[in-house]
Amino acid sequence: MRADERAPRWRIGVIGGSGLYDFAGLEDAQEIAVSSPFGEPSGPVTIGRIGQIDFVFLPRHGKGHRLPPHEINARANIDVLKRCGVTDVLAISAIGSLREDLAPGSFVAVDQFIDRTHGRVDTFFGDGLVAHVSMADPVCARLAALAANAAEAAGAVVHRGGCYLAMQGPQFSTRAESRMYRGWGADVIGMTALPEARLAREAELPYALLGMVTDYDSWREGEHVEVADVLRVMAANTALARETIARLAEILPIERVPSPIDHALDGAIMTARSQRDQVLAAKLGAIASRALRD
């Protein structure tokens, strides 16, 4: 199957965040290294299945959590998932809470983002090949609902919907920043969802993010984020995340109905054919060959 073709069946790419560095339970699991013209991904992917659903797993921070948030090559990660024939991407992330009711240990199916990162390469396109995709609704509602259903079936407390504030890191927020983000209407905070979600949209991959709440960030008076507390909650959340993926395999319909996001690049490429940079077009072979060919 060519990278730009879509199979009628699901092939779910799972990006594992903090604490989720391997994918136990996959049948016929095989770890393979996949190269990308956009540099080195976080590590090799693990391909396998659960029941009748194919999965491709990639640990965002690499095995052993060797990569800090600002050094993750999100372009290479999304590119290699696309090269593996992934149809949809489910990101699992540790997050901090900016709301009292989003308690540590609960899950949040995020549906919006605010970007406070800087210096990260956030597009596959550039000089000689310009494209503008819509990010009004950055998350695939269908996949987010399925992931939330799976998490609830696994026994998690799930909040459906929430605005994720993407901060630069690797330090945690100051109290002033945390309170400002609450005033902006952000519900949770993390360091890795952007530019990941933007790049998934450019790659025409429906994307959903299931956040695992580990702490209350630093907006509460007298409290601050401690790595030890995060790791303790994260251990329990990680077990739930693995069970969530197993339940997702059970509830996904066998046939995948096409998503509008499968054609997110339709009408998005602005550069005239005669002016396109052919070197960049070649690098986009997995990401955009369908749109560049049409």
Domain annotation covers residue 268: no
Tell me which of 108 and 237 has the higher pLDDT: 108
What's the whole-number mean pLDDT along residues 221-234? 71
Which of these is catalytic: 54, 115, 187, 217? 217
Residue 242 structural domain: 11-118+134-261
Domain annotation covers residue 1: no
Domain annotation covers residue 190: yes
Domain annotation covers residue 84: yes
- Do 241 and 155 contact (CB within 8 A), yes or no? no
> Domain count of the chain?
1
What is the tens place of the pLDDT at every residue in 130-148? 999 999 999 999 999 999 9
Domain annotation covers residue 167: yes
**How many Cα atoms occupy the beta-carbon half-sphere of 252 within 13 Å?**
27
Judged against a pLDDT cut of 70, whether residue 3 lies above it is answered with no
Pick from 230, 238, 224, 233: which is nearest to 177 by CA?
Answer: 224
Name the pTM for this structure. 0.93
What is the tens place of the pLDDT at every residue in 266-277? 999 999 999 999
Question: What is the model's pLDDT at position 165?
Answer: 98
Let me know if 266 is a catalytic residue.
no
Domain annotation covers residue 21: yes
Let me know if 215 is a catalytic residue.
yes
Q: What CATH number did the domain enclosing 92 receive?
A: 3.40.50.1580
Domain annotation covers residue 292: no
What's the whole-number mean pLDDT along residues 52-70? 94
Judged against a pLDDT cut of 70, whether residue 224 lies above it is answered with no
Which of these is catalytic: 137, 215, 262, 294? 215
Domain annotation covers residue 221: yes
